[in-house]
């Protein structure tokens, strides 16, 4: 099982697909008003929203939806392997 789908047995297992991506992007809209906030490269979707500005509740939901915080080259953002197929 790939790391993007690995979840603990007690975690909610979302079905996947476009509805989950739309829910995640809707959460991200609460934290930015920038026009261009996504980038997809090498099967990884990057969302340029600083995780330090996101509430713990939203971070937990984003994790279920397939996004986790990352520090890439000094830039804090969220990434997803689940939604990153280019």
In-domain check, residue 18: no
Q: State how many domains the chain has.
A: 1
In-domain check, residue 19: no
What pLDDT is attached to residue 2? 37
> Secondary structure of the chain: what % helix, strand, coil (to 5)?
30, 20, 50
Per-residue tokens: 21: 């991506």
Any idea how long the chain is? 86
The domain in which residue 62 lies consists of 33-86
Distances (CA, A) of 56 to 19, 59, 67: 22, 5, 13
Q: What is the pLDDT along the chain (86 residues), one digit of tens a residue?
A: 333 444 445 555 556 689 999 999 999 999 999 999 999 988 899 999 999 999 999 999 999 999 999 987 778 999 999 887 75
Give the span between the Cα atoms of 5 and 48, in whole angstroms. 22
What pLDDT is attached to residue 65? 96
Give the span between the Cα atoms of 8 and 2, in whole angstroms. 13
């Amino acid at each position: 099982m790939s790391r993007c789908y690995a979840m603990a047995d007690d975690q909610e297992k979302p079905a996947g697909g476009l509805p989950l991506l739309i829910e995640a992007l809707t959460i991200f809209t609460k934290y930015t008003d920038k026009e261009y906030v996504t980038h997809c490269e090498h099967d990884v979707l990057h969302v340029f929203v600083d995780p330090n500005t996101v509430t713990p509740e939203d971070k937990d939901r984003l994790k279920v939806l397939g996004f986790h915080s990352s520090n890439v080259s000094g830039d804090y953002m969220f990434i997803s392997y689940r939604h990153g197929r280019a």
